[in-house]
Amino acid sequence: MSELNVKVGLIGKFDMLKFKNMSKAREKAIQAAPAREISGVFPINENAKALHPDYLELVIDDIIDRGTAQAKTFVLRRPDGKPLPYFRAGQYISLKLPMDGSFVTRSYSLCCSPKEAPGGEYDITVRANPGGFVADRLLSEKKIGDTVIASGPQGFFYYEDLRDEKKVIGLAGGSGITPFLSMAYALRDGTEDFELTLLYGSRDEASILFKDQLDAIAASCPKFKVVHVLSEEEKEGYESGFITAELIQKYAPAGEKYSVFLCGPEAMYKFLKPEIAKLGLPERLFRRKLIDVTKTPWDCEGYPQELRGRSFQLTVRQGAQECVIPASADEPVLVAVERAGIKAPSRCRAGECGWCRSRLLEGTVFIPQENEMRRWADVHYGYIHPCCSFPTSDLLLEIPGEFF
């Protein structure tokens, strides 16, 4: 083997000498430094925590009664008055509420302008829901000065110019107006840039939520237009009946591409699904707010009808704790867990966010097709979203601890 001769020039020798003395220079700098405690707080981490908090402690600063629309708007602020995380118009926050010795979560769209967040304000609107477990208690029990715990802004129901067309047809029903109100404010304030024509379905004129606000924004902002559709009343200046493909095409831009955004109750989704299919839009141009998990799973395709009304045994493991509770085939697993007083993580309650992701060790569940949003790997390795999974046998479930 021949020897390898390496020639080092004068400049190279100086580089080697500098490298040899580096440890001495470093030690000298350490000894010369002041003996003070090293800070573990970094501005970039503090900014990330402010923009993406694990949870928010908020105080009800004001409650606005919406009169005949049977709803109330809750104005929320931080106790210290500091700014709140910025959000995209159309996003929601999830409230964690103590109820009968347990905790439940409910998501509510932010209905204020994104410009309000730096000033420390979030607005949510809750509409009466006779027979509901949470809404009516919020409306009757919460008062100014009460504290609530909330997540940071969540969800993907917002305009994205890389995906959506510049012209958008919005379809809203009932309290599904709230994310669209935020979008209208954003267009007025210049924080969003697209054209929104909103078809808003209500029973009658008296039940229209935010009518004055919507009409005022439409009058001052050329990028926003609202069309009120009344299903149980015929009145001049309003469309009557239901929102259909024909009505959408009446207000859609002729000969131009457009996106469709939809937010409303379950019945509206079911009615509009075939109507929207008639429009022949590419799938990417149809956006819907996450749909709540059905209260009638037996009406869903694939639900085993013979199990309706059955009760199963649910064994829940959470850390070192294990307990056995009943679970109905007609309710999501998460409902059974919360009813038993187990603090489980959850946010969207519709299968989208994955916050409640848990491992199913034994048993089987039914998941409505519209709420099946798990990743392939989760399906393969046995993870489910308890918020939208209905038990079809006895279950053994491993649930993570709560995050907030």
What are the tokens at 285? 């141009």
Q: Which residues pair with 104 in a beta bridge?
A: 97
Residues 6+ apart with CB under 8 A from 374: 351, 354, 383, 384, 385
Residues 6+ apart with CB under 8 A from 404: 54, 55, 96, 149, 151, 345
Instruction: Give tens-digit pLDDT for 205-264.
Output: 999 999 999 999 999 999 999 999 999 999 999 999 999 999 999 999 988 999 999 999
Residues 6+ apart with CB under 8 A from 303: 297, 366, 390
Smallest CA-to-CA distance from 362 within 315, 299, 292 is with 315
Q: Is the pLDDT of residue 164 over 60?
A: yes
What are the tokens at 167? 């012209």
CA distance 58 to 146: 8
Please report the pLDDT score of residue 7 as a whole number: 61
Mean pLDDT of 343-363: 92
Residue 113 · residue 85 · CB < 8 Å? no
CA distance 12 to 144: 74
Residue 105 · residue 404 · CB < 8 Å? no
Q: Which of 253-267, 289-303, 381-395 has the lowest mean pLDDT?
A: 289-303
Q: Is the pLDDT of residue 42 over 90?
A: no
Higher pLDDT, 281 or 15: 281
Which of 98-107, 189-198, 286-295, 335-344 is most confident? 189-198
Which of 32-46, 97-111, 200-214 is most confident? 200-214
CA distance 181 to 72: 15
Sort strands 395-398 and 311-318 into parallel, antiparallel or unpaired: parallel
The type of residue at 89 is: A
pLDDT level of residue 19 (50, 70, 90 thresholds): confident
Q: What is the DSSP letter of 177?
A: G
Residue 125 · residue 175 · CB < 8 Å? yes
Q: Is the pLDDT of residue 10 over 60?
A: no
The type of residue at 9 is: G
Q: Is the pLDDT of residue 12 over 60?
A: no
CA distance 134 to 132: 6
Q: Is the pLDDT of residue 111 over 60?
A: yes
- pTM for the whole structure: 0.84
The answer for 49, left when phi > 0, alpha when psi is -120 to 50, beta otherwise, is: alpha
Smallest CA-to-CA distance from 155 within 109, 104, 95, 121 is with 109
Mean pLDDT of 301-308: 94
User: Where are the strands (E) in 143-216, listed by range?
Assistant: 147-150, 167-173, 195-202
Please report which residue ranges of 113-265 form alpha helices under DSSP H: 135-141, 178-189, 211-220, 245-251
pLDDT level of residue 13 (50, 70, 90 thresholds): low
Phi, psi values for residue 30, rounded to 5°: -65, -45
What are the tokens at 46? 């503090």
User: Where are the strands (E) in 156-310, listed by range?
Assistant: 167-173, 195-202, 224-230, 239-240, 259-263, 286-288
Domains and CATH numbers, the chain: 54-150 (2.40.30.10), 167-288 (3.40.50.80), 300-398 (3.10.20.30)
Burial category of 4 from C-beta neighbours within 10 Å (exposed 0-12, middle 13-18, buried 19 and up) = exposed
Residue identified by tokens 């439940």 is 104
Please report the pLDDT score of residue 341 as a whole number: 87
Residue identified by tokens 């979030």 is 122
Percent of the chain with pLDDT over 90: 68
The type of residue at 280 is: G
Mean pLDDT of 269-274: 92
Q: Is the pLDDT of residue 8 over 70?
A: no
Higher pLDDT, 63 or 22: 63
Q: What is the mean pLDDT of the chain?
A: 91
Sort strands 167-173 and 259-263 into parallel, antiparallel or unpaired: parallel
